[in-house]
Structure formats: structure tokens, C-alpha cells
A and B are shown apart, each in its own frame.
Chain A
Amino acid sequence: MTTAPLSARGVRKRYRDTRALDGLDLEVAAGTVHALLGPNGAGKSTAVNVFATLTRPDAGEVLVGGHDAVRHPARVRSMIGLVGQSAALDEALHGRENLVMFGRLHGLSKTDAVRRSAELLDAFGLVEAGDRKVSGYSGGMRRRLDIAAGLVIRPRILFLDEPTTGLDPRARHEVQELVRRVVADGTTVLLTTQYLDEADQLADRVTVLGAGRVIAEGTPSSLKSDLGGDRVIITAAEPDDLDKMAGALGAAATVDLDRLEVTVEAGASGGGAAVVDVVRTLDSAGITVDDVLLRRPTLDEVFLHLTAPHTEHQHEGAAR
């Protein structure tokens, strides 16, 4: 059995009076994209900095590829790639020179660093730009080069801290495509993001952070179904039908008189089954309806719900 690329237990980090990480547990499986999702200040970047040996945790254990990040930081550094929030590039150097420099500092020989840089420029669509100064690059190109710099060695795990923040939609899309390719090549990725759709599209697993703790974890779809729940919304044809409908549908129904709507929370069996149930029940009760709508929660709703301040959330199957 291979060791997990990243395994963290009970990680705590305090900065003066803020608890940036408050007992974080995280396990990233090989070959997957794992997203750390959370608002600003949730502890995402601190977590990445601890995993990448930049910040020493106050307590807890971090194993990267089986190596302890506190006791053996040098071993950990030799097998990770870090792409921080701002493009950490030398503006006066050419794109290629940046990659060669970081490759050599990673311990590659000059020949290997040059070869690897050429491969990466090619793979990331930067061959032409490679021999120009980075100061002339667009935001998207910078980001691509920045990610390439995190891949000069083939890292066991690549940390991407908010890789698409501040990019325009097109560049964002490009970077997301790139991440998919990187993973397809076998690299494990831990990315942080504030964007739910990004986590939804890219990640195999999502960990939602709030105030330095894990508040939910799962696949994007399981998070949605566990935490939000589907709803069936039935619009009545006649106002008089509302009461009859509510009576027929039972306790799960709530009535909205103004909009002539009855909402039914779908249970564990999911939205599809609930629609069939509702239609059957209403049909056998002889009630005609104007419209039936199935509404799935977006990850946004899930996210807002989970990270709402001053609320404790304990959802079965979600909280660890």
C-alpha cells in the first residue's frame, strides 16, 4: 500500500489572537484533486503553508508522502510543488529562465532543468512566450507559468492556493483545464478556492473549512444532497387547491399562499423519487396542478448555509 500524499491530524496554528487552524484533519488520496473550500479567513492558506513547510504548526501532525513536515521539512520540500496566491515569478527573467532557475534550485542538473522547462512550456502553451520577460505576460499566462514552476520536479502533491482568483473567466477556464491535465498525468492536487463551481467541477473531494476547522467533507454531489436536500415545488391551478394539496402531501409540505405554491422537502431517496411520489399522490387525490418543479440546491446555497456565522452545523454523514 502506498502512503497518502498528504495526511494531517489535529493541526493547530494561532496568530496572536486569531486561531487560523483549530484542529484541522485532512486526508488526500493519491491521484485525486482535493479542494479546500472556504471564505476568506477560513484558514485555507494557512493550511497550505503548513503542509508546504512554510509555517510551523503549534500542534498536530502533518505527513507529506509519509514524511513529517515539522521534523523533516527538507524531505517534504523535495517532493512538493507550491503555487501560492500571487504569481511567484521573477518579472525580469524570461519564462524559460524562471523554470530553469526553480528547477536547478530543486536540485535538477542544468541539462535536466532545461529539458524539463522545455517540456512544461510546450505542455502549457507557452513556447512562444517562453523567451520573453515575464513582466510582459498577461494574468493568465503568468498563472500558467506559475503552475509550471510548481511542476518542475514531478511532485507527489501539488499545492495550488486559489489558482484562479483574480483571473478573467477565460483565463480561469484555461487554468481549470490545465489542472485537469495535471491530474490526468497522475499528480495529486490540493487546491484552495472560494469558488464553489470550481470545487464542483474540478474536485473529487471537497473539504469545507470554516474558522480553521472542517465543517463538511465529501464528494461535491454528496455534499449537495447531504447538506441541502432537493425540493419539489408544486404550483396550484386554483387557490382553493392549496389546502387539498397540503392535506394530501402530509407533513413534508409547506404552503406559500401568495405564490400558490406548495413545497415538499425530498427525503433521503432524492429529488427524482420525490417528484414521482408527489405526482402520484396528487393524481390519485384528483388534484390538478399548474406546474411541478424539482429544485436542487446549488453549492452556493450549501456553502452559505454551512459557513453562516454563529451557527453550529452537525449534519450526519457530513461532519467528521
Chain B
Amino acid sequence: MTALSSTLRQTWVITLRDLKHWQREPWGPVFGVLFSIMMLLIFGFLFGGAIEMPGGGTYLPYLLPGVLALTMMFGVDGIMAVVTEDTKRGVTNRFRSLPMSSVAVPLGRAVADLGNSAVQLAVLMIGGLLIGWRIEGSFLEAAAAVGLLLWLRLAMLWLGIFLGLTLRMEGALTMVQVLVWPLGFCSSLFVSPETMPGWLGFLAAWNPVSATATAARDLFGNPTGITSGLLADHAMLLALAWPAVLLAIFVPLSMRAFRRLG
């Protein structure tokens, strides 16, 4: 058997393992999606009325793609939690003692997670349609938006895998779970960077998740809240490039960390 086909086979075995987890213990993903729905309702109906949109448009169509991108961001701490658990239990060391590729375990997990993420996106989008969000773009454009969101998720997963393998101190997971929030808010997910003080708006526009959210809004035909600047012109390109950069960094680092764990 060639190295590639055995790597793919090992990856698939790990994917099946994670899918079985969700089938047996579905509460993690279920609460994950409920949490996103809660965010959608809180921001859509509690805060939404007070939020002004640069460039016009109503808030709910702006918000929904932002919540989708935020849900993709939760992949970081979600996968970090399972990687940490495997390492604590010694399962990671058992994997490391097997004649398998370093990439198979994280890749298998990532593939399974993408399946789970696609379901979460579908649930949120249906929920959005029920409360008045509309897809104005074509079917293909909408599919491309979902593709970009999953592309962001993939990058977030590898970042989480890396953090799970390298941050071994007590409380590391909690730290990451807390940090996701300011990083998520300092972006275009909930409000337009153009409403922020200049330097903060600059940071928010350069946040990788802003690119994905803005590109998804464009493709869904929703208001982007962006009237000028790099994001207005090149959101799509940035939404493709940012995750690619993150993957180019964290895939090799994670593989190295996996082998160096001992």
C-alpha cells in the first residue's frame, strides 16, 4: 500500500471515530448550535435596533453571516478541547506509538468536524430564514459563501489542534475560550469596523474573520456595512487568502508538535 492511500485510510478511521462520538453524544454540537441561535436572537432583537448600518440596510441580514462566521470561530476551542482530552488520557501517545502518518489524526478530526460544521451552518441558515433573513444572491453564490465559511473553519481547526498540542498548562482551554470573544467582537462580525475608532476599525478590518464575513455577505446579497477600503474591494480574495496563510503556518506546526509531544 502506498503512503498516501494508507494515510487516507487512517484519516478515514479517525473521521469515523469522531462521527460516532457525535452520534452517541450529540449534546456538544447541539448546544453549540443553540448557543449560536441565542447569539442571533440577542443581537438581532435585543441590540439590533440600536445598531446603525454604514451604507444603509437593516441589521438582521448583516448580522446573520456574522453569526455564521462566529460559529466557525468556535472550531478553535472545540477541537482544542478534544485534542487536550486525548492527550490527557494517553490516547494521543497511543496514536503516536502506531505506524501511522502524523497528519492522519488531526486531518481525520478536521474532516469529521467539517461535516458537523456544515450541519450547524444549515441549521442556522434555516433559523435565519425563519426570522426574516433572505438570500438575495444566486444558489451558486450562496454555496460559495458556505464554502468560504467552511474554509475559515478548517483554518480555525488547525489553529485549535496546534494550541491543543502545545498549550499543556492547566486552564489553557479556558483561556482560549475566553479569548475567542474579544477576537470575535473586534471584527466585522457584529458591527461595521467603520463605526469604530480609527485604529480599532483598522484592526477589525484586518481580522481574518472579517474577510470571510464580508465576502459571505456579498455572496448572500446582504449588506456588508463596508463602504471603502481593502475589505470593500477584495473581501473575496482575503477570505480565500487568510485561511490559506493560517493553514500554511499551523498544519506543519501541528504535525511537528504531534511528533515532538514526548
Contacts and interface: CB of A to CB of B under 8 A. Distances in A.
A85 B96 contact: no
B98 to A, nearest CB: 5
Contact of B91 (A52, A90, A107): A90
A54 B97 contact: yes
Interface in B66-103: 88-91, 93-100
Nearest to B108: A105
Given A54-B261, A54-B262, A86-B90, A93 B97 contact: no
A149 interface: yes
Interface string B147-180: 0000000000000000000000000000000000
A61 B94 CA distance: 22
A314 interface: no
A84 B94 CA distance: 8
A105 B97 contact: no
Given A86-B89, A133-B24, A93 B96 contact: no
Contact of B6 (A89, A91, A107): A107
Contacts of B97: 52-54, 77, 80, 82
Contacts of B99: 74, 77-78, 106-107
Interface residues on B, range: 20 to 34
A102 interface: yes
A49 interface: yes
A102 B94 contact: yes
Contacts of A56: 262
A19 interface: no
Interface string A110-129: 00000000000000000000
A101 interface: yes
A88 B13 contact: no
A54 B96 CA distance: 7
A140 B122 CA distance: 44
Contacts, number: 71
A305 to B, nearest CB: 32
A22 interface: no
A25 B17 CA distance: 40
Interface residues of A, number: 30
B257 to A, nearest CB: 13
A82 B93 contact: yes
Nearest to B6: A107
B20 interface: yes
B17 A88 contact: no
A84 B92 CA distance: 11
B20 A93 contact: yes
Considering residues A80, A90, A97, A102, which has the most beta carbons from chain B within 10 angstroms of its beta carbon? Answer: A90
B98 A105 contact: yes
Contacts of B1: 107
Nearest to B97: A82
B89 A87 contact: yes
B90 A105 contact: no
Contacts of A90: 17, 21, 91
A77 B98 contact: yes
A97 B24 CA distance: 13
A92 B20 contact: yes
Contacts of B91: 88-90
A88 B262 contact: no
A137 to B, nearest CB: 13
Contacts of A91: 89
B256 interface: no
Contacts of B20: 92-93, 97
Given A55-B262, A101-B17, A85 B24 contact: no
A105 B25 contact: no
B10 A105 contact: yes
Contacts of B89: 86-89, 91
A172 interface: no
Interface string A58-84: 000000000000000010011010101
Contacts of A296: none
Considering residues B9, B96, B99, which has the most beta carbons from chain A within 10 angstroms of its beta carbon? Answer: B99
A88 B94 contact: yes
A56 B97 CA distance: 13
A74 B10 CA distance: 15
Given A90-B17, A92-B20, A84 B90 contact: yes
Nearest to B12: A104
Given A86-B89, A91-B89, 16 more contacts: A54-B97, A54-B261, A54-B262, A80-B97, A82-B94, A84-B90, A87-B90, A88-B89, A89-B91, A90-B17, A92-B20, A93-B20, A104-B13, A105-B95, A106-B98, A107-B99
14 contacts: A49-B93, A53-B97, A54-B93, A54-B96, A56-B262, A77-B99, A82-B97, A86-B89, A88-B89, A89-B91, A92-B24, A92-B25, A93-B20, A133-B24
